[in-house]
Amino acid sequence: MSKFFSSKYSTLEAYVPGEQPKDMKYIKLNTNESPFPPSENALLAAKEEAGKLQLYSDPECTPLVKRMGDVFKIDKECVLMTNGSDEIINFAFMAFCDESHPIVFPDITYGFYPVFAELNHIPYTVIPLKDDFSIDYNDYVGIGKNIIIANPNAPTGMALPLWQIEKIVASNPDNVVIIDEAYVDFGAESAVQLTKKYDNLLVTGTFSKSRSLAGARLGFGIGNKELIADLNTVKYSTNPYNVNRMTMAVGCAVLDDNDYYMNNCKTVMENREYTKNALEKMGFFVLPSFANFVFARHSEISGAELYLELKKRGILIRHFTKEKIKDFNRITIGTKDMMDKLIDTISDILKEKQNENL
């Protein structure tokens, strides 16, 4: 730390992204990216737009917002596009939370929430998951604080039904409820249509997982138009051109090809069930997942050891060191081929371990 670093950040613990090692070619099952490339039209759009990069991007994202309106069946005043959904989540923390408007979220969830709270000096409390790793919606009913919940949750993959989300939103009318739907396209119910009924609901989403654009950085928030106007005030006070030209062009093409991406999600969901079954046959306990990953533990091998053994063999999965979940690993669902390699490799590792113990 330099002597110039502001004391307001001196205790900040930054978010740690999933590792991207370059020493060899890995099968990447650690950051929940799509295993499928963007569609042909998206690639063409990027190429065409590259020739106009001397010009600023459209701060209103006009063509993209129009398509968002069509695909999500909402008014264009009710959506804001951002540089990944991490940006809209930070904007929401900045806009709606402060010393006297604290926020709550589950103890096991997306690691960026406590970081954004610390960054913006927002008091926060965490609520433990139930013993089965699910969120008890009753814990949030009438809590009288701002709330952020990832639905499906990460890294568990478990989801709340829409009626429970609605109870949380309806019972906290004087607080903002943020539902982070980064993984909603893999089988959970979206709360987007509830934004028409409740002025305190903000739904966030991303093109990083279900729409193959993790590297383009495109996210969004959907909510009542006053909420979106507030978020725009924050956006225009930080970075009006937050979505670059190429990403905007690619995002439009992706929404035009929405069926291709939703079909890929179906394939991922099939591969998820296939992987879950195979892991269970090998003795894993696997949480029910509505996301593009599974969260699994095995009684014969620790989470850390399995992670390291797979890494040695060229497969990356995500291990977390938090006490409550250190026995688990989060495994991104890829193509059938990728999952077969994973399953075969884990089977080898378990056999080697059994032989050692003989």
Ligand X SMILES: *Cc1c(COP(=O)(O)O)cnc(C)c1O
* Binding positions for ligand X, rule: CB under 6 A: 84-86, 110, 150, 154, 180, 182, 206, 208, 214, 219
The nearer residue to ligand X, 57 or 153, going by C-beta atoms, is: 153
Closest CA to 290 of 170, 193, 206, 210: 210
Q: Alpha-carbon distance 155 to 191, whole Å?
A: 20
CB of 208 to ligand X, least distance (A): 3
CB of 253 to ligand X, least distance (A): 18
The nearer residue to ligand X, 180 or 230, going by C-beta atoms, is: 180
CB of 218 to ligand X, least distance (A): 7
Q: With 0-12 CB in 10 A as exposed, 13-18 as middle and 19+ as buried, what is 6?
A: exposed
The nearer residue to ligand X, 28 or 298, going by C-beta atoms, is: 28
The nearer residue to ligand X, 110 or 307, going by C-beta atoms, is: 110
The nearer residue to ligand X, 301 or 334, going by C-beta atoms, is: 334
The nearer residue to ligand X, 84 or 303, going by C-beta atoms, is: 84
In the chain, the DSSP E strands lie at 27-29, 79-82, 103-106, 124-127, 146-150, 177-180, 201-206, 219-223, 284-286, 293-298, 315-319, 328-332
CB of 4 to ligand X, least distance (A): 29
CB of 182 to ligand X, least distance (A): 4
Which residue's Cβ lies closest to ligand X? 84
Q: Alpha-carbon distance 129 to 338, whole Å?
A: 31
The nearer residue to ligand X, 182 or 194, going by C-beta atoms, is: 182
- Give the count of beta carbons closer than 10 Å to the beta carbon of residue 115: 18
| Beta partners for residue 126, in sequence order | 105
DSSP secondary structure of 217-251: --EEEEE-HHHHHHHHHHHHTT-TT-S-HHHHHHH
Q: Alpha-carbon distance 197 to 3, whole Å?
A: 50
CB of 242 to ligand X, least distance (A): 12
Question: Tokens 């923390």 sit at which residue?
Answer: 93
CB of 23 to ligand X, least distance (A): 24
